[in-house]
Amino acid sequence: MIAKLSELCQYRELIRNLVLRDLKVRYRNSLLGFLWSLANPLAMMAVFTVVFTFMMPNNSIPDFPVFVLCALLPWNCFRDSLMGTLNSIVGNASLIKRVYFPREVLPIATVLANLVNFALAMSVLFAMLIVFRVPLTRWALLLPLVVLTQLMFTLGLGLMLATANVFYRDTAMIMDVVILAWFFITPIFYPISILPTQRLVLGLDLNIHRLTYILNPMASIISTYRVILYHGAPPATDFFLRTFVSCLIVLVMGLFVFSHYSRVFAEEV
């Protein structure tokens, strides 16, 4: 693992160039260019605000646009990164067959390109914090650590999915459905507190609230974004530590699986 990380460091210039390539391709022939990174979350925030504030007036969440953006921006980054890494190997088949380089470079570049978009989009959130007079506290300084946690989870899962997609091209089509379902079971436009703590399922008394955190790391990550930015409070240390360790395990697993099968990628793609 250490040798692999050392090799990736040697190819950091290639990673940088691939990140720039992904960003240029994404906004090529676009009138707004990078402004789409700002316009897209603003439009989605407006839709959710209209639906859950005006069309459903019983919604009691204060500063709802800020509440949504704290979750929607990380989710968009996660979704775009995951679907991008999924096709990062298959989509660069000609490059893989021509020259040697660490194959991990491709999914890493995809995730980092989406991280740049995420950083730009965060300016929208901070603007909304000012507009709605939601104070930033010192706990907002933990934001880079939360982003790192999400980055580890996204990259680890993306590496495994990119590997699976090389051998089973159905993976991309399956993930289209999974990512949509994942969006609704993650507390993005609703507070997790509305989930029941007890629900009888097939004769089992389940705590849906707790299971959402345990089985869905993105729910835990998004909850932490909201705690430090929307509520301005410190995250529970044990809760965040478990999330961080879980995401680190996913990253290590992803690197191991990807590295194990990457030697045959050129033959399979």
- Residue 204's H or E segment, with its range, is strand 204-206
Assess contact for 84 and 165: CB atoms under 8 A. no
- Count of CB atoms situated within 10 Å of the CB of 205: 9
Q: At what angle do helices 105-131 and 64-86 cross, to 10 degrees?
A: 170
All residues at 6 or more sequence positions from 53 whose CB lies less than 8 Å from its CB, including other chains: 59, 64
Per this entry, what is the length of the chain?
269
pLDDT digits (tens, 9 = 90+) for 208-238: 778 888 889 999 999 999 999 999 999 999 8
Nearest in space to 2 (alpha carbons), one of 221, 259, 234: 259
Question: Which one-letter DSSP state was computed for residue 1?
Answer: -
Q: What local confidence, expressed as pLDDT, does residue 67 receive?
A: 92
What is the domain count for the chain? 1
Residue 113 Cα distances to 17, 22, 104, 116, angstroms: 10, 7, 14, 5
Residue with tokens 């009691």: 60
The pLDDT value given to residue 32: 62
Q: Model pTM?
A: 0.89
Range of the domain at 182: 2-268
The pLDDT score that the predictor gives to residue 52 is: 76
**229 alpha-carbon distance from chain centroid:** 17
In tens digits, what is the pLDDT along the chain, a chain of 269 residues? 677 778 888 888 988 999 988 888 877 766 666 676 777 788 888 887 887 777 766 667 888 889 999 999 999 999 999 999 999 999 888 888 888 888 899 999 999 999 999 998 898 899 999 999 999 999 999 999 999 999 999 999 999 999 999 999 889 899 999 999 999 999 998 888 887 777 777 767 777 778 888 889 999 999 999 999 999 999 999 889 999 999 999 999 999 999 989 888 888 77
The pair phi, psi for residue 204, each rounded to 5°, is -105, 135
